[in-house]
Amino acid sequence: MPETTGLNPHMKTSQSTFHHFNGLRHHVRTWGDAKAPPLFLLHGWMDVSLSFQFVVDELQREWHVIAPDWRGFGLSGWSEHGYWFPDYYADLDALLALYSPQQPAHLVGHSMGGVIAGVYAGIRPDRVARVVSLEGFGLARTSPAEAPARYRRWLKELGEQPRFRSYPSFDVLAARLQSENPRLNPEKASFIAQAWAHQSGDGLVEMRSDPRHKRANPVLFRIEELIACWREVTAPALWVFGRESEGTGYLKDTPDQLAERKGAISHCREAWVENAGHMMHHDQPAAVARLIEDFLAEKFPEKN
Domain boundaries of the chain, sorted by first residue:
1-141+221-304
Residues in contact with 14: Cβ distance below 8 Å, sequence separation at least 6, in sequence order: 1, 29, 30, 31, 50, 53, 56
For residues 213 and 48, the answer to whether their CB atoms sit within 8 Å is no
pLDDT of residue 133 exceeding 50 = yes
The 10s digit of each residue's pLDDT in 183-195 is: 999 999 999 999 9
Terminal alpha carbon distance of the chain: 44
CA 122 to CA 230: how far, in whole Å? 5
CA 89 to CA 143: how far, in whole Å? 24
Instruction: Give the model's pLDDT for residue 114.
Output: 97
Q: Give 54's strand partners.
A: none
Q: Which pLDDT band holds residue 162 (cuts at 50, 70, 90)? A: very high
CA 20 to CA 233: how far, in whole Å? 29
Query: Mean pLDDT across the stretch 76-88?
Result: 94
Instruction: Give the model's pLDDT for residue 95.
Output: 98
Q: Which pLDDT band holds residue 303 (cuts at 50, 70, 90)? A: low
Q: What percent of the chain has pLDDT over 70?
A: 96
Instruction: Give the model's pLDDT for residue 81.
Output: 86
Q: Which pLDDT band holds residue 220 (cuts at 50, 70, 90)? A: very high
Instruction: Give the model's pLDDT for residue 8.
Output: 62
Instruction: Give the model's pLDDT for residue 248.
Output: 81
The 10s digit of each residue's pLDDT in 12-53 is: 999 999 999 999 999 999 999 999 999 999 999 999 999 999
**Phi, then psi, of 31 in degrees rounded to 5:** -125, 145
Instruction: Give the model's pLDDT for residue 178.
Output: 96
CB neighbourhood size of 154 (10 A): 15
| pTM of this structure | 0.94
What is 1-141+221-304's CATH topology? Answer: Rossmann fold (3.40.50)
Q: Which pLDDT band holds residue 5 (cuts at 50, 70, 90)? A: very low
Average pLDDT score over the chain: 94
Q: Which pLDDT band holds residue 202 (cuts at 50, 70, 90)? A: confident
Instruction: Give the model's pLDDT for residue 3.
Output: 45
CB neighbourhood size of 129 (10 A): 18
pLDDT of residue 244 exceeding 90 = yes
Nearest to 177 by CA among 167, 102, 295: 167
CB neighbourhood size of 168 (10 A): 10
Which range has the worst mean pLDDT, 54-63, 116-125, 295-304? Answer: 295-304
